[in-house]
Every structure is written in C-alpha cells, then in structure tokens.
C-alpha cells in the first residue's frame, strides 16, 4: 500500500483524485500540487445491501 490523500478537482463537475504522498499546504491555502506528483482518478463501489463503500484508484476511472 502507498500513502496518499484524496483531492477534489472541479472541472465541469467534481471528481476525486488520489495523490501520492503527504499533502503540503500551498502559500495562500489549499494544497500544493506539483505537476510531477503521481495522481489517479478514484472510483467508488457501494454494496446495495449494507452500504459499504470501496474506493479504487487507477486510469480506468478517468471521466469519458
């Protein structure tokens, strides 16, 4: 497992991305996101019986 965090991106909607490493505070608030930082789109799956959520990160979850 790799350490990372979730970041909401708003580009015509809202989408979560998993970002590798620890979040670093930007100069004027928010999170500093260097372009070289590894990032992946996040997909969520929900159990229709109990509501349990599983999150997965990878290129297969990119918006189409």
Whose CA is closest to 61, among 41, 35, 34? Answer: 41
Residue from 25, 27, 37, 26 nearest 17 by CA: 37
Whether 63 contacts 40, CB under 8 Å: no
pLDDT in tens, the chain (64 residues): 889 988 887 777 778 889 988 888 888 878 887 778 888 889 999 999 999 999 999 988 887 7
For the entire predicted model, the pTM comes to 0.70
CA distances (Å), 54 to each of 31, 45, 46, 47, 51, in order? 25, 5, 7, 9, 10
């Amino acid at each position: 497992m790799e350490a990372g965090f979730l970041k909401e991106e708003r580009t015509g909607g809202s989408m979560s991305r998993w970002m590798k490493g620890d979040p670093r505070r930007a100069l004027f608030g928010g999170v500093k996101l260097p372009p070289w930082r590894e990032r992946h789109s996040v997909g969520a799956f929900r159990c229709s019986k109990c509501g349990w959520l599983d999150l997965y990160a990878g290129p297969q979850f990119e918006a189409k």
